């Protein structure tokens, strides 16, 4: 039971870290968008990649948590 709780805690911390890093990057990108029009198109594409990475990372972490729950419940 403690091993399951440690795994859940570790994966939730990873999700929190991912969202925090994405938020900081989005603030930085927002500042850069205000400075230059040419960079705007590049930053919009980069923003899409960051959002996609966040969703994929979150989905993977949730999938691995589900796998841990299934392993724990099938014992």
Residue 63 has pLDDT above 80, yes or no: yes
Split at pLDDT 50, 70, 90, the class of 75 is low
Q: How high is the pLDDT of residue 61?
A: 82
pLDDT: is 40 or 57 the higher one? 57
Report the C-alpha gap between 27 and 20 in whole angstroms: 11
pTM over 0.85: no
Q: How high is the pLDDT of residue 1?
A: 66
Could you tell me the two tokens for 13? 């911390």
Whether 4 contacts 72, CB under 8 Å = yes
Q: Which residues of 51-65 are buried (b: 16+ CB within 10 A; e: fewer)?
A: eeebeebbeebeeeb
Average pLDDT over residues 9-24: 81
């Amino acid at each position: 039971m403690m091993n399951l709780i440690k795994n859940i805690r570790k994966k939730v911390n990873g999700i929190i870290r991912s969202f925090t890093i994405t938020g900081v990057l989005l603030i930085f990108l927002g500042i850069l968008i205000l400075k230059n029009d040419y960079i705007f198109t590049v930053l919009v594409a980069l923003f899409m990649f960051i959002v996609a990475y966040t969703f994929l990372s979150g989905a993977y972490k949730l999938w691995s948590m589900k796998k841990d729950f299934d392993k724990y419940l099938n014992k």
